[in-house]
């Protein structure tokens, strides 16, 4: 997200619909690949069954044999205060005060670490967009006693230490992520200098689309939504698109082709682009190489925003500088490090985005975007967890993340005083001319790698992490041979979406996070994008759904869908939110009462200063889709 206290009113937006964007009807769209029956693939030959992981694929070891349920069926009853029924779970009804009222920022649009419901996913993410339970190994130990509820870090480990399976059962689509996720996220022993994290999961496993559920009619959807779209709390510019995921058929449109300020919904486009450009398994390297002078170590940033200093990093399971320092000391042998140079030249151009509010650099919602940083540029990761979770306030960021990381690395190498001061420079090319006991300039002394791209996208989506989003946009740029800059990321994202067959003329970006007020995306592009990711034609793109918050349950939606008028969407709506003052948006997936999976996008950029009322008005729209068959 951006912020909710900037009192933004977009300028130069006249509210007129673009050509072809009628009200209430479903207009023709660019054909989304894979949406016709002829293009909908069945499961790949030899793929794992839907809902079941295949740990043996791609050389993956089996799941870790600790902390698993004893049997293959549903896990033990939850003990977290949320009643449970078969196939559904009741969202929280704590009734506690919401500190975000009166214009306070919502930290869950940019908070720490990936989010998932507490306990086992299959029964915490209820409704027709279920998350299947993990598949434990035979003879696994009983599930340990649950920890006391707290915010994301515990949720992260409790859920993702096993197998994460995101099933879009309404169309028969499953994103299966088998493999030792505990090794990605977990203990200190898995992050040694000698051992890297386990291999990433195989690509998504798809099953044939389920076309049995009745398809809503455009007339039925219009009757359900038209009165809600006119709610005063949404302001005078409300642009909406609703489509069927299985067929791609447009079911409702009101200003659906109009460029609209998307806020953090931008991250859906960034996530799809980086998954297409880099692939779900790609890891971002951070390297150390020998400098030109004896004992000089050059720390080379590869653009990993989650890099940690040590085991106390902000992002669980991230690559660590202390591991890299251990590798460097071993590689240098008897040569003592004397100085550290930082090479963050992979990213170019301004470090703050065009269209960002002036207080973003110091307000904690963004940071200077450099190719080398630790903990998302947070000054104090431990304090950041407390402020972002408990105090609902964004954490302070350092002004020069690359130099801060260099000083942290120098300290880990044992340098102090003047020797611990670092400078910027570029790594020398590997000359191969080593002398006795001294590595040649440019010789790689060590390397650590980030979590797989699929996990970084999960964190970006679930917590609306702006810094990760900007780093992901630059990865798209680098993959496409463009500069690692705001402009390069925006141009590369447009290019990738066009290559996927999406209407790239309906998106105009200045950044990858949505903090920029100059971004424009049409609702229909978002529903086309979600349909493309969910229809099975591009299996790697289905990874975008793993981080989507669940209504009334997780992420930025965990305290929404609690009112009686919106409870139909609890556990059924799965969506990305976007919020700037005067801008509110939501886009994602919902299952109708008849079991049909739909995609929706509702973008508003002239809302009054009534955040709670605006959010409830948006939630009423998506809940109406969940509660009706619309036929």
Catalytic positions: 264, 267, 464
DSSP conformational letter for 179: S
> Which residues lie closer than 8 Å to 227 by C-beta, 6 or more apart?
none
Q: Tokens 């230490």: give the residue.
A: 161
Three-class DSSP labels, 49-64: CCCCCCCCHHHCCCCC
Helix (H, G, I), strand (E, B) or coil at 316: coil
Please state whether 350 falls in left (phi above 0), alpha (psi between -120 and 50) or beta.
beta
Euclidean distance between CA atoms 459 and 466, whole angstroms: 10
Q: Tokens 């023709």: give the residue.
A: 28
Q: Which residues of 448-460 are buried (b: 16+ CB within 10 A; e: fewer)?
A: bbbbbbbbbbbbb
What is each CA distance from 63 to 120, 134, 159, 187, 396, in whole angstroms?
15, 10, 13, 15, 37
- Residue 6 corresponds to which tokens in the numbers above? 């900037």
Q: Which of 500, 543, 551, 594 is nearest to 168 (CA)?
A: 543
In angstroms, how far is CA 49 from the centroid of its own chain? Answer: 26
Euclidean distance between CA atoms 191 and 201, whole angstroms: 18
Euclidean distance between CA atoms 457 and 475, whole angstroms: 12
Please state whether 184 falls in left (phi above 0), alpha (psi between -120 and 50) or beta.
alpha
- Residue 42 corresponds to which tokens in the numbers above? 């069945």
């Amino acid at each position: 997200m951006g912020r909710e206290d900037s009192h933004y009113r977009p300028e130069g937006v006249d509210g007129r619909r673009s050509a072809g964007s009628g009200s209430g009807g479903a207009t023709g769209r660019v054909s989304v690949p894979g949406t016709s029956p002829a293009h909908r693939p069945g499961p790949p030959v030899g793929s794992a069954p839907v809902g079941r992981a295949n740990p043996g694929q791609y050389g993956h070891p089996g799941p870790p044999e600790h902390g698993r349920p004893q049997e293959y069926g549903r896990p033990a009853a939850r003990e977290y205060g949320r009643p449970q029924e078969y196939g559904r779970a009741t969202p929280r009804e704590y009734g506690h005060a919401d500190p975000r009222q009166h214009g306070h920022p919502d930290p869950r649009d940019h908070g720490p670490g990936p989010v998932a419901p507490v306990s086992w996913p299959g029964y915490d993410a209820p409704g027709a967009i279920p998350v299947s339970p993990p598949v434990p190994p035979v003879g696994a130990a009983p599930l340990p006693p649950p920890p006391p509820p707290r915010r994301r870090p515990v949720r992260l480990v409790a859920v993702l230490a096993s197998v994460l399976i995101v099933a879009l059962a309404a169309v028969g689509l499953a994103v299966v992520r088998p493999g030792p996720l505990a090794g990605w996220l977990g203990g200190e022993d898995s992050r040694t200098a000698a051992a890297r994290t386990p291999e990433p999961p195989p690509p998504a496993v798809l099953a044939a689309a389920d076309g049995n559920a009745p398809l809503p009619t455009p007339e039925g959807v219009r009757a359900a939504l038209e009165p809600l779209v006119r709610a005063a709390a949404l302001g005078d510019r409300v642009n909406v698109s609703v489509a069927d995921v299985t067929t791609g058929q447009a079911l409702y449109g009101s200003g659906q082709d109009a460029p609209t300020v998307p806020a953090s919904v931008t991250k859906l486009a960034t996530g799809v682009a980086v998954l297409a450009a880099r692939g779900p398994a790609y890891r971002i390297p951070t390297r150390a190489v020998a400098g030109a002078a004896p004992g000089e170590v050059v720390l080379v940033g590869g653009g990993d925003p989650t890099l940690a200093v040590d085991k106390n990093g902000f992002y669980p399971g991230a690559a660590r500088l202390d591991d890299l320092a251990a590798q460097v000391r071993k590689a240098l042998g008897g040569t003592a490090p004397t100085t550290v140079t930082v090479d963050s030249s992979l990213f170019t151009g301004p470090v703050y985005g065009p269209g960002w509010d002036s207080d973003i650099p110091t307000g904690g919602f963004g940071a200077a975007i450099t190719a080398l940083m630790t903990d998302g540029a947070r000054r104090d990761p431990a304090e950041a967890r407390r402020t972002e979770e408990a105090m609902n306030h964004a954490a302070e960021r350092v002004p020069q993340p690359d130099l801060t990381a260099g000083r942290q690395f120098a300290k880990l190498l044992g340098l102090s005083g003047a020797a611990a001061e670092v400078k910027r420079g570029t790594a020398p090319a590997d000359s191969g001319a080593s002398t006795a006991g001294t590595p040649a300039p440019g010789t790689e002394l060590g390397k650590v790698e980030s979590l797989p791209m699929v996990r970084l996208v999960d964190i970006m989506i679930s917590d609306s992490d702006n810094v990760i989003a900007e780093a992901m946009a630059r990865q798209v740029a680098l993959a496409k041979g463009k500069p690692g800059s705001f402009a390069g990321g925006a141009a590369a994202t447009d290019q990738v979406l066009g290559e996927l067959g999406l209407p790239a003329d309906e998106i105009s970006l200045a950044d990858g996070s949505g903090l920029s007020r100059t971004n424009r995306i049409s609702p229909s592009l978002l529903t086309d994008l979600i349909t493309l990711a969910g229809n099975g034609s591009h299996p790697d793109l289905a990874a975008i759904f793993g981080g989507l918050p669940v209504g009334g349950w997780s992420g930025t939606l965990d305290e929404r869908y609690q009112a009686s008028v919106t409870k139909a969407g609890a556990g059924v709506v799965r969506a990305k939110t976007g919020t700037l003052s005067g801008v509110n948006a939501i886009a994602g997936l919902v299952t109708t009462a008849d079991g049909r999976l739909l995609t929706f996008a509702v973008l508003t950029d002239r809302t009054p200063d009534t955040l709670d009322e605006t959010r409830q008005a948006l939630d009423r729209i998506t809940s109406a889709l969940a509660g009706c068959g619309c036929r």
